[in-house]
Amino acid sequence: MITWLEFEKPVAELDKRITELRSAAAGDEVDIGTELDRLETKSADLLASTYKALTPWQKTQVARHPKRPHFLDYVEHAFDEFVPLGGDRLYGEDEAILGGFAKLNGRKVMLIGHEKGNDTESRLRHNFGMGKPEGYRKAIRLMEMASRFGLPVVTLVDTSGAFPGVEAEERGQAEAIARSTEACLALGVPMVSVIVGEGGSGGAVALASAERVLMLEHAVYSVISPEGCASILWRTAEKAPDAAEAMRITAQQLKKLGVIDRIVKEPVGGAHRNPAKAAQALGKAISEELDALSDVAPDELRRLREERFLLLGE
């Protein structure tokens, strides 16, 4: 069942009419094929035109859609032979950040990413994708392991930000994020990062400091949430749509600014409408980027990362 967003209401009303027409005609001999075809075409066209003109705030809503695919969905549809590896060997396990060995189109990779969960129980277990220090230290451990075995690193970023709780700060959240960012920049193997939903603050950068950064078409990437920005600047979260517009958080805006390298198209109506198709497009894009990086020397990879981040904002 589709969960409709506020701006999708005209499409929802059309779909409701289609469902009612089917129900009313059930068992009758009246031919409704022509009318159904007309309404379905109209609905598809309206959905396409709506998603073609989304505002930054509307894209934020799509990126947060409860049915949007997350890390484990992409593992299921785009990767093979995933072997999860847990623990940071210092404190414990963090299920907000998952990782392990995997295969992508026959290529062995180290796959790491945020997992938000898809129902109340799993969202609580995965802490809504908000990583704790042990999660980022686990990511560091896995990146170092990938470097030793010569495996490229792929990260799927989807978090509103690192966990801000007192216990996380007590265990060194800021230091863990900084070390994870440092580990990305120091890798001697190719690294491709993809913002698949929300890319929020340092919690995202800690897994996205790669030489190639991609974004799904309706993902968002920002230093702070629109609501957080609005609360600081205007003292009210109601200004979140204005903040989203001002911060340049969409894939299209960030591509123009040079913050990301490539936009991966989503199925019409967002990745949540066809997770398998979205995952296939994502897997294809990552494979192409890894092919292009496969013969690049370790020192050149580090130089590419250093250059891309030092040039931001020029």
d(CA 231, CA 205): 22
Take residue 68 and report the two structure tokens written for it: 């949007």
What single-letter amino acid sits at 48?
A: A
d(CA 83, CA 270): 29
Contacts of 9 (CB under 8 A, 6+ apart): none
What confidence score (pLDDT) does residue 301 get? Answer: 95
What confidence score (pLDDT) does residue 30 get? Answer: 60
What confidence score (pLDDT) does residue 25 get? Answer: 65
Take residue 112 and report the two structure tokens written for it: 């790491």
What confidence score (pLDDT) does residue 36 get? Answer: 82
Q: What is the pLDDT of residues 145-167, one digit of tens each?
A: 999 999 999 999 999 999 999 99
Take residue 296 and report the two structure tokens written for it: 């690049």
What confidence score (pLDDT) does residue 27 get? Answer: 61
What confidence score (pLDDT) does residue 40 get? Answer: 86
Q: Which residues of the chain have pLDDT under 70?
A: 1, 25-31
